[in-house]
Amino acid sequence: MKFIYPALKKFMKRDIQPGTSSMDSISFKEIFHTIDENISFFKQTFSDSADLVIKELNERNIQGNLVFLDTMADKDKIQRDVFKPLTEAESAQFEAVILSNFLKSDNLFKAQEALLNGFCILFLDGVKEFYMVEVGLSKDRSIIEPSNEQVIQGSHEGFIENLSTNLHLIRKSCRTANLTMEHIMLGDQVQSKIAMVYMKDLANFEMVNEFKRRVQHISMDHIPSTGALQELIEDSTWSPFPQILNTERVDRVIGHLNEGRVAVLMEGYPACLIIPVTFFAFFHSPDDYNSRWMIGTFIRTLRLVSIFIAVNLPAIYIAVIGFHFEVLPDDLVLPIESSIKNIPFPPLIEALVMELTIELIREEGVRLPSRIGQTIGIVGGLVIGDAVVRAGLISNTMIVVVAITAIAAYSIPTTEMSDAVRFLRFPHMILASTFGFVGITFGFMFTLAHLCRLESFGTAYFAPWAPFRLKDIKDTFIRLPLWKFNTRPLDSKPNILKKQSLARGWESNETKQE
């Protein structure tokens, strides 16, 4: 009976040093001559922490000590995988049980790492080595659909905080020998385990090596989250636009892996990072591929139009009211004039107050418990929709503009891109209040130039528009039929560009038969 899987054996065989990757080796600390000295080493290392458990074993076949962390070890597993096999073994079979159930080592630093990873350590009298077995405590939540990436059709599986479970979900959905998984340890003091997943035959090895190079040059005591890792390895941290896609959906990750991209997961976090990506990848949803291609194209077009609305509509309103009133149709001049003539604030102040109020309501809705958040949202809506207008502080037209802008911003399926779009409206509003339509045009040109300059791990961020590649437009702001996807997008630099030969081959067979 073997309690250590091959992957765990491999993990225990390699030497890991805090602050290095899994490919580096740990310093060697030889086991002491007596058990008391070894126990003192662990007490000193863990500062006599309350969860450090040291049990003295004095059974028929066992004379020694068992060491484990109570917060990391499962006591049922200890009873089943340690005590029961050893106490039931006959004297002649004791050594065979030890060799089959435990891993052996004489490096105390390796034992320290093992304890932190849910192992227990067994010291036996008269033996100058110790034995290890995995008894990790597992308290995982169930696999459910991510609340921030829900779809109408398609898979409803999402990642959880357990790295092994997440890798299982990927392997289950992509059963091929070409799927490669590599583990790397990060953090000088508190180590975080990350996994890099890619298709060996598709992923560009220069990009894979570039990711490893950036990760190996990270020197921090602790990597707090995937968001922190994203900030440490992305090309430009001064840009409001995310250059790495963050998703919790398994099907979305599988789709990107089959296009030659790399997925990065971290132990303790459900988010998966996808590299490299383009600007248009943040506007794609699994529903686009599960519905009719014409419907998918229509929805994608709406999302891209929503960017322009969310960024520029308040700015356009400010420019029209402040500089270009003559562009309004004659039928709208009198209603808008009557709406704003008694407002004591200029259009910029109106817009800033309303937009900041919307952001505050959104923030409290996220932070407060659901019932309280809904109540505050209703109260905030009443204040914005009725009381502020009756008080003569905000015009009716501004209420309509702010409402349309908020709806447009939240139609973007990726939270990070939605945040970037909501942020950009504020500098555009300031430019519009200063220079009118000229300011809006300047802001738009500057944003477009910035998008063209950005890169994601050596890939042009605004591809396939800059540089222009006609064949890759089939899956950007439009979504052509799947049988048109004969090649993979060039932005991921895949090793194999061809994706399919003739997806609807039955049509050609029917033609030949006729």
Contact call for residues 252 and 153 (beta carbons, < 8 A)? no
Q: Dump the DSSP string for 206-222.
A: HHHHHHHHHHHT---S-
3-state secondary structure 328-392: CCHHHHHHHHHHHCCCCCCHHHHHHHHHHHHHHHHHHHHHCCHHHHHHHHHHHHHHHHHHHHHCC
CB distance 281 to 241 below 8 Å: no
Look at residue 49 in the predicted model and tell me its pLDDT.
86
- Examine residue 346 and say whether the peptide bond preceding it is cis (omega within 30 degrees of 0): no
pLDDT over 60 at 69, yes or no: yes
179: helix, strand or coil = strand
Distance CA 495, CA 506 (A): 28
- The predicted model gives 458-476 an average pLDDT of 90
The per-residue pLDDT for range 129-138, each reduced to its tens digit, is 888 998 888 7
Lowest mean pLDDT among 139-153, 158-172, 367-381: 367-381
pLDDT higher at 263 or 81 = 263
- Cβ count near 116 (within 10 Å): 13
Q: How confident is the model at residue 8 (pLDDT cuts 50, 70, 90)?
A: very low
pLDDT at 19: 37
Closest CA to 285 of 303, 273, 305: 303
- The token pair at 179 is 């799927």
Q: Which residues contact 340 (CB under 8 A, 6 or more apart)?
A: 321, 347, 395, 397
Lowest mean pLDDT among 136-140, 317-321, 480-484: 136-140
- pLDDT score for 16: 38
Mean of pLDDT values over 344-366: 85
Average pLDDT, the chain: 84
Phi and psi at 465, nearest 5°, equal: -85, -35
Q: Has residue 139 got a pLDDT over 80?
A: no
- In contact, 351 and 429? CB cutoff 8 Å: yes
- Return the top range by mean pLDDT from 59-73, 388-402, 417-431, 469-483: 417-431
- Residue-wise pLDDT for 169-202, tens only, equals 999 999 899 999 999 988 888 888 999 999 999 9
The percentage of the chain sitting over the pLDDT mark of 90, rounded to a whole number, equals 37
Give the residue from 234, 201, 282 showing the smallest Cα distance to 462.
282
Helix axes 205-216, 226-233, angle to 10 degrees: 110
Query: Per-residue pLDDT for 24 more than 60?
Result: no
- Say what the pLDDT of residue 254 is: 94
Give dist(CA 405, CA 306) in Å, integer: 8
CA distance 398 to 389: 10
Q: Which residues contact 306 (CB under 8 A, 6 or more apart)?
A: 407, 408, 409, 411, 412
- Cα separation, 115 vs 243, whole angstroms: 37
pLDDT band at 322 (very low <50, low <70, confident <90, very high): confident
Q: List, for residues 249-297, the tens digit of each pLDDT value.
A: 999 999 999 999 999 999 989 999 999 999 999 999 888 888 899 999 9
Asked if pLDDT for residue 142 goes beyond 90, the answer is: no
- Judged on CB neighbours under 10 Å (0-12, 13-18, 19+), 261 is buried
Distance CA 86, CA 228 (A): 45
Q: Which of 84, 114, 113 is nearest to 101 (CA)?
A: 84
pLDDT confidence bin for 499, thresholds 50/70/90: confident
Comparison of pLDDT for 13 and 427, the residue scoring more: 427
Helix (H, G, I), strand (E, B) or coil at 498: strand
CA-closest candidate to residue 22, choices 12, 32, 36: 12
Instruction: Identify the band that residue 425 occupies on the pLDDT scale cut at 50, 70 and 90.
Output: very high
Residue 313 has pLDDT above 50, yes or no: yes
Query: Tokens 């209603």 correspond to what residue?
Result: 335
Q: What is the pLDDT of residues 341-350, one digit of tens each?
A: 888 888 899 8
Give the CA-trace dihedral at 39, 45, 48, 52, to 10 degrees: -70
Residue 68's H or E segment, with its range, is strand 63-69
For residue 464, is the peptide bond before it cis, meaning its omega torsion is within 30 degrees of 0?
A: yes
When pLDDT is cut at 50, 70 and 90, the band that residue 14 belongs to is very low
